[in-house]
Amino acid sequence: MDIDFSVVLVSLVGICGILWLLDSLLIKKTRLAAIEKYMSGQGKHKSDDEIADAVADLAREPLLIEYAKSFFPVLLIVLVLRSFLMEPFQIPTGSMIPTLEVGDFILVNKYAYGIRLPVIGTKIIDVATPDRGEVMVFIPPHEDKYYIKRVIGLPGDTVRYEGRDLYINGELISKELQGNIQVDTNVGALPGTLYTETINGIEHATQHIDGVGQRRSRTSWVIPNGHYFMMGDNRDNSSDSRVWGAVPEKDIVGKAVAVWMHKEPGLNLPTFSRNQLIN
């Protein structure tokens, strides 16, 4: 399982906050008592400079407390921004090619589909629901990690995918042929075809491996209430709802809105040539 950065952030904020609170309620009193004792005893016979140095030394916070107070507001701000506003996410696989490439860094709008508590994911404020054609980050039913795909089916929809034709509630989704391409797969480059597809007014590219789409055993799905059917734009090289089923509403993370950086795997510097909004 991938490291859940939200859990790490919440834990660090909690630890820093508890240390700060303990210092305010308990530990600080010990330092003040030590200063008072010094002033009523040894301090009576010292010069002003000696008293100032001694008091500063006695009032000094333990290093752990000092770090906790310094990091707490910074970590809290990062937690709030990441949990309720925007979260960065890196594309790990090629399932969304050609829309998103491996190595793209994207921004995920965390409030587009409702405000959720960090870690547990409970929705506390409704904002909107996912719509067909949008690109969404979520946790799939079979694995505890972030996935990114395109929303194809809403609750109650009937989705049919035969060959390269996509039907939603019996209506054929329009697509326009762009040309022949080579599709990279784990067995090498294979001949394929590039299309421009339009769902709910959202125009985006999809790619297909020649001859693969016709071999799928299942072609039709009815989407349960509170679930969403997700597909990758790399239609014949994507593990998605056609394999592991629809995504529950409770496992939605947010809406992918923009590519802000790209880095090729390995020892390569990041670039900003692919910066763009996500359709």
What letter represents residue 250's amino acid?
Answer: K
**Confidence tier at 1 by pLDDT (50, 70, 90):** very low
243: CB partners within 8 A, 6+ apart: none
User: What would you measure as the largest C-alpha separation in the chain, in angstroms?
Assistant: 95
Q: Which two tokens stand for residue 195?
A: 């299309």
Mean pLDDT confidence for 239-255: 96
Domain ranges of the chain: 5-83, 91-277
What residues are paired with 153 via a beta bridge?
A: 229
95 part of the active site: yes
User: How many percent of the chain have pLDDT more than 90?
Assistant: 69
pLDDT tens per residue across span 151-171: 999 999 999 999 899 999 999
- CATH superfamily assigned to domain 91-277: Umud Fragment, subunit A (2.10.109.10)
Kindly state the percentage of the chain with pLDDT values over 70.
97
pTM of the model: 0.84
Catalytic residue from among 6, 83, 95, 241: 95
Active site residue 123: no
Tens digits of residue pLDDT in 28-83: 999 888 888 888 887 677 787 787 888 888 889 999 999 999 999 999 999 998 88
**pLDDT number for residue 46:** 76
Task: Find out whether 245 and 235 touch, Cβ atoms under 8 Å.
Answer: no
- Give the tens place of pLDDT for each residue, 99-129: 999 999 999 999 999 999 888 888 899 999 9
Contact status, residue 247 vs residue 241, Cβ threshold 8 Å: yes
Backbone phi, psi, residue 21, to 5°: -65, -45
Mean pLDDT of the chain: 91
Distance CA 273, CA 27 (A): 53
